[in-house]
Amino acid sequence: MVSNNVETVPQPNGNGHSRQDTMADIIITKYTVYDLRFPTSLDVSGSDAMNLAPDYSAAYIILQTSTALTSQGFAFTIGRGNNLVCEGARMIADRLVGKTLAELTADMGKTWRYLVGDSQLRWVGPEKGVIHMGLSACVNALWDMWARYVNKPVWQLVADMTPAEFVRCVDFRYIEDAITPTEALALLEGLEGTKANRLADAKANAAVPAYSTQAGWLGYSDEKMEKLMHGMLDEGFDKFKLKVGGDVEDDRRRCKIAREIIGPHKSLMLDANQVWGVTEAIDWMLQLADFIEEPTSPDDILGHAAIRKALKPHGIGVATGEMCQNRIMFKQLLQAEAIDICQIDACRLGGVNEVMAVLLMAKKFGVPIVPHSGGIGLNEYTQHLAIINYLCVSGEKGLLEHISTFREVITEPLEVRNGHFVTPWEAGYSVKFKDEAISKFEFPNGEFWSSKSGLEIREYSKNLDI
């Protein structure tokens, strides 16, 4: 248990439980899973060289208990197939029903091992793909419940842990050849003495610098990109990312426009979203000469190592991780010296616990963390993870991607001010969707998906040429 855990506190935001309820009184009784899909393909928000017309989606779960306490979690997808992740979440959630909050949080590392331990479900993973993304929705909902109970944001729940309590949340199976529990404990203990200084940054909304992809979607016209980029400069942004990989001359032109707008000293990053092979990635990037994210297949560890080795003499860094399936693949990327930036994803990994494992490994290998946040609700998740990393693990500020698309569907959307994320203080994990958003965007029967525009999107995949 967390060392300063308070077991009888009121729940904020109208989601209360009795002051007499202890964690042992709170039993998970049932769950509801929603297939939420948002029509971002209408204005090609989120478009890149691999994903031309995504509809940002959430396999969204609500856990209910024997008290008034509820919690939420989701896994992010981009449209078709979201129903598969929803089913994966239901299968994992069955393992939570009947358990008390006390027994589930007494040893979170053990609980995580229990949730991935169904041998028949492991057969369709193991610890990867649809079933693992379904796991992440459930694990994140459990962390949301725990944080709501103790009336803290998730980042603070973790930051208030002792180093030993932090380490107990991690399943070290398969990664002890990279970092042991003893090494992890020593790493965290070494940062405890300066944590108060970093906490002051969080309180001053200066813990997490922001960069934006909002102007850089591949499907945007030059005029739209220019307008959005000028607007973000006015808002205080000084770091930007563009999607590339469709056509090299088009990429060169767009990069030139962006550089003329932001000037020579502000950061410009590029993202190919896995569209290239290894040789192609090297050749293409030598023509663009900027930092590159996801240059090739997310599963190609040696390919990333080859790309990094070829580009390093030219001062071009390599990042990946948003589709890295588990802590084991991150371990290999780090051991192979294949990346300059480690991009954890709150939903592709198996929730907070597995993210914590990767944060520890990245710290040991000296690789900075920059979470992937390009999706509705992902930013709300990753603002917590970025703060956890800064306060507890890395001790160094790292960038975080800012995406504002469909922010109105979240009850507590993030804020960015003066180029930094505003630290969230509401209890929980910040990912509760509004009731009206659920009614409108639930697939296939929500109000939008029954409209003319919704029906046209649903027919799109049937009309594609081979």
pLDDT of residue 302: 98
pLDDT of residue 236: 87
Length of the chain equals 466
* Single pTM value for the model: 0.94
pLDDT in tens, 159-215: 999 999 999 999 999 999 999 999 999 999 999 999 999 999 999 999 999 998 989
| pLDDT attached to residue 16 | 53
Dist CA 414 CA 121 (whole Å): 35
Question: How large is the average pLDDT for residues 229-245?
Answer: 92
Banded pLDDT at 460 (limits 50, 70, 90): confident
Q: Do domains 27-152 and 181-438 have the same CATH topology?
A: no
| pLDDT over threshold 50, residue 105 | yes
Q: For residue 5, what pLDDT is reported?
A: 37
Instruction: Give yes or no for a contact between 54 and 77, defined as CB atoms under 8 angstroms apart.
Output: no
Burial 360-389 (b: 16+ CB within 10 A, else e): bbbbbbebbbbbbbbbbbbbbbbbbbbbbb
Q: What is the pLDDT of residue 459?
A: 87
Nearest to 276 by CA among 268, 265, 264, 288: 288
pLDDT tens, 264-301? 989 899 999 999 999 999 999 999 977 899 999 999 99
256 catalytic residue (yes or no): no
pLDDT value at 7 more than 80: no
Parse the chain into domains and list their residue ranges.
Answer: 27-152, 181-438
| Marked catalytic residue, from 243, 304, 331, 432 | 243
Is domain 181-438 given the CATH code 3.30.1490.20 in the classification?
Answer: no
Catalytic residue among 17, 304, 331, 372: 372
Residue 14 confidence (pLDDT): 41
Q: Is 372 a catalytic residue?
A: yes
What CATH number belongs to 27-152? 3.30.390.10
Region 17-21: mean pLDDT is 70
pLDDT tier for residue 235 given thresholds of 50, 70 and 90: confident
Phi–psi pair at 328, nearest 5 degrees? -70, -40
